[in-house]
Chains A and B, each alone.
Chain A
């Protein structure tokens, strides 16, 4: 490393360490880290202040309106992941970055102001290198803060809760990445205007505008996809065809989305990197659709299924005497062969033929899409069975999920609870659990271009490089 490079790095570090907002943010970061040392999220319950108070996860998750996971033993992990996401991705990743932008926006204006510029630009260092040292100072600013927050929380959770999620550490580079985009833009404005105020205001406006553009683009994509799926399923689409929106609007959104840096994707990148490290539990995987089931239905075991059983692809049953006859069956048909409306009509016709008059119709959601459900009671010998069939669509396939269990007052509402939790364990890569999550679910390293994370990062870095090049070009032409 040359002496000049060392000097510029040291200068960047000194500049950051002397910054009052930086010191304040370090303290705030430590305040956020502190609870991880005081509250232990043990697998069985939440322990506050080394045993002073304890709380059940069903209560705690309920307070925050967080769904219980399919596996109750994963409750503490669910709560921790929620807290990490809230504090790091949401709080630090948004408000923290706004503070960081405001605190570092003066780096370049102060360097180019009269008196300071004469001294520094007369040194045998290129203007480009000096500009990059200011860029580096900003990155260091956020890197140190992100490290304090993320590593602090990680160590706290490890020591106090015995919980370790190495993937959480990916939040550090992702926060630097997100800030790096905005800092490059701030630098450009600072060079053009030589004003900190202009740099702060314009960068924040750009941040908000950028967020709106990508948010609108994601909504547009989700609406188009939803419309197509409904048409493909042979159903009456909800609402008008989004493709009928003004052509100009769609083209503008597409152009802006492809060219602007994708700040919104930072959270998705962070999640994807974490998932890449995490081992996901899967008890069943359908090779055709990619549908995964995280856990067996409660108190049930998988039953053997062969090719000859198609359309049945998975089946579970119970060994317990009081649950004898309880079955969960998963069926699959290609949508090209069987539409959902046809499947529903056939079921209703069969029930009518069986003389079952009372059929309850309902509509729930599985994997982010509407899933019509039919429930009925069916006498079988001396027993009466409660049956339920739900049809849902994903990846060009129609799935039928059937529950049947003898009516037993001892089972009661619990029956509904395990069914719900079992459905929560469904997952297909690229299919969102909620419609609002359509983008984050589809975006991945291997997805098609518009959802591809490599493209997202590549196009963003290109934008950053062009922005810095423009700032360097302008700086090199200034007469001090």
Chain B
């Protein structure tokens, strides 16, 4: 449920960590501008040191003294009012080890202004969702990394935020847990919650995000929808009933890079050539069960873009 309202608005944002004794200063963000619509799932990609975490931390008030403008729901980024509407699962977070999972959720829920009446109903539901209902009364210090991550996600959602920042949400989580987290994200999206995901697992991002920004060295390299960021390769993937060595001869002179596959064959062709391929196969009585115009996946697009920028 994407609306035209904006959850996050960032304009000309720059952040330079000042030079310290024996430490050189460096620019973590350089003139970054993004807008995230309410109810969308937004992915932030970039290699290590690209400035992704700094951007999130500025939006949450964890990093101060920046240039440019940043706001959440038209409130200044970092203000108490804006943070009240936000949930955050940090990367490699550490929750208070002296508390149990349930106490962590009570503590953070109350810190976000929710009363115990609300929390007593909300906590069991959330614990069930993240698969931690059985272990909720154990101390945090007894949890595995995956369990910590699940409780981390639950605490980020405890007060029913309108915007959730997830920094490496599936880090350390097993495949079943990852699927559960994806399900939770999609459920939140369906309720109009804006999700801001920072992840190195591009498959996850590709599966969940509507829009993606790719950053490197503090700058935005590209932003757009998944379709916009993953262009077609020009390769058509044909599915035919059974391997037929005649096919290569039939299509001689059309396209290039012909190669058999387990389900049929691949061939790089233009749109005109694609029609001719179909005509020749049908004329030879070969049934065409499917044609897929192959695109770059997000990982290929990301690596290509970052390498290209790195070589500049």
A interface residues with partner B (beta carbon < 8 Å)? 2-4, 6-8, 10-11, 14-15, 17-19, 113-119, 121-126, 477, 479-480
Give the shortest distance, in Å, between B147 (CB) and chain A (any CB). Answer: 16
Bound-complex Cα distance A8 to B99 (A): 13
24 example contacts (A-B, Cβ-Cβ < 8 A) are as follows: A2-B113, A4-B113, A7-B108, A7-B111, A10-B110, A11-B96, A11-B107, A14-B103, A15-B98, A113-B94, A115-B93, A116-B94, A116-B96, A119-B90, A119-B95, A119-B108, A119-B155, A122-B83, A122-B86, A123-B112, A124-B80, A124-B81, A124-B84, A479-B65
Specify which chain B residues have a CB less than 8 angstroms from the CB of A4 in the assembled complex.
Answer: 110-111, 113
- In the complex, which of the residues B95, B110, B155 contacts A7, with contact meaning CB atoms closer than 8 Å? B110
Specify which chain B residues have a CB less than 8 angstroms from the CB of A125 in the assembled complex.
Answer: 80, 111
Find out whether the CB atom of A479 lies under 8 angstroms from the CB atom of B61.
Answer: no
Bound-complex Cα distance A43 to B81 (A): 65
In the complex, whether B57 has a CB less than 8 A from a CB of chain A is yes
Closest to B155 in A: A119
Give the shortest distance, in Å, between B103 (CB) and chain A (any CB). Answer: 7
Specify which chain B residues have a CB less than 8 angstroms from the CB of A19 in the assembled complex.
Answer: 98
Specify which chain A residues have a CB less than 8 angstroms from the CB of B42 in the assembled complex.
Answer: none
Find out whether the CB atom of B107 lies under 8 angstroms from the CB atom of A124.
Answer: no
Give the shortest distance, in Å, between A472 (CB) and chain B (any CB). Answer: 14
Closest to A17 in B: B98
Closest to B82 in A: A124
Give the shortest distance, in Å, between B140 (CB) and chain A (any CB). Answer: 10
* Chain B 114-145: CB-based contact to A (< 8 A → 1; otherwise 0): 11000000000000000000000001000000
Specify which chain A residues have a CB less than 8 angstroms from the CB of B115 in the assembled complex.
Answer: 3
Bound-complex Cα distance A125 to B110 (A): 10
Find out whether the CB atom of B88 lies under 8 angstroms from the CB atom of A122.
Answer: yes
In the complex, whether B60 has a CB less than 8 A from a CB of chain A is yes
Specify which chain A residues have a CB less than 8 angstroms from the CB of B57 in the assembled complex.
Answer: 118, 479-480
Find out whether the CB atom of B17 lies under 8 angstroms from the CB atom of A479.
Answer: yes
Specify which chain B residues have a CB less than 8 angstroms from the CB of A15 in the assembled complex.
Answer: 96, 98
Bound-complex Cα distance A15 to B139 (A): 12
Give the shortest distance, in Å, between B3 (CB) and chain A (any CB). Answer: 24
Find out whether the CB atom of B103 lies under 8 angstroms from the CB atom of A8.
Answer: no
B interface residues with partner A (beta carbon < 8 Å)? 17, 57, 60-65, 80-81, 83-84, 86, 88, 90, 92-96, 98-99, 103, 106-115, 139, 152, 155
Bound-complex Cα distance A438 to B215 (A): 72
Specify which chain B residues have a CB less than 8 angstroms from the CB of A11 in the assembled complex.
Answer: 96, 99, 107
Closest to B95 in A: A119
Closest to A113 in B: B94
Please report the number of residue pairs spanning A and B whose Cβ atoms sit closer than 8 angstroms.
92
Give the shortest distance, in Å, between A3 (CB) and chain B (any CB). Answer: 4
Find out whether the CB atom of B113 lies under 8 angstroms from the CB atom of A118.
Answer: no
Bound-complex Cα distance A19 to B80 (A): 31
- In the complex, which of the residues A6, A14, A118 contacts B88, with contact meaning CB atoms closer than 8 Å? A118
Find out whether the CB atom of A121 lies under 8 angstroms from the CB atom of B61.
Answer: yes
Find out whether the CB atom of B61 lies under 8 angstroms from the CB atom of A122.
Answer: yes
Specify which chain A residues have a CB less than 8 angstroms from the CB of B64 in the assembled complex.
Answer: 477, 479
Q: Which of A7, A18, A113 has the most CB of B within 10 A?
A: A7
Given contacts A123-B83, A124-B80, A125-B80, contact A115 B113 (CB under 8 A): no
Q: Which of A14, A115, A116, A124 has the most CB of B within 10 A?
A: A124
Q: Which of B62, B80, B86, B110 has the most CB of A within 10 A?
A: B110
Closest to A479 in B: B63
Closest to A118 in B: B90
Give the shortest distance, in Å, between A171 (CB) and chain B (any CB). Answer: 29
Specify which chain A residues have a CB less than 8 angstroms from the CB of B103 in the assembled complex.
Answer: 14
Specify which chain B residues have a CB less than 8 angstroms from the CB of A18 in the assembled complex.
Answer: 98-99, 139
Closest to B80 in A: A124
Closest to B79 in A: A124
List 18 additional contacts besides A4-B113, A124-B81; criterion CB under 8 Å: A11-B96, A15-B96, A18-B99, A114-B92, A118-B88, A118-B90, A119-B90, A121-B61, A121-B62, A122-B83, A124-B84, A124-B113, A125-B111, A477-B64, A479-B64, A479-B65, A480-B57, A480-B63
Give the shortest distance, in Å, between B57 (CB) and chain A (any CB). Answer: 7
- In the complex, which of the residues B65, B83, B96, B152 contacts A124, with contact meaning CB atoms closer than 8 Å? B83
Specify which chain B residues have a CB less than 8 angstroms from the CB of A6 in the assembled complex.
Answer: 110
Find out whether the CB atom of A480 lies under 8 angstroms from the CB atom of B62.
Answer: yes
Closest to A123 in B: B111
Closest to A4 in B: B111
Give the shortest distance, in Å, between A400 (CB) and chain B (any CB). Answer: 68
Find out whether the CB atom of A119 lies under 8 angstroms from the CB atom of B114.
Answer: no
Bound-complex Cα distance A116 to B97 (A): 10
Find out whether the CB atom of A118 lies under 8 angstroms from the CB atom of B62.
Answer: yes
Closest to B98 in A: A18
Given contacts A4-B110, A477-B64, contact A119 B88 (CB under 8 A): yes
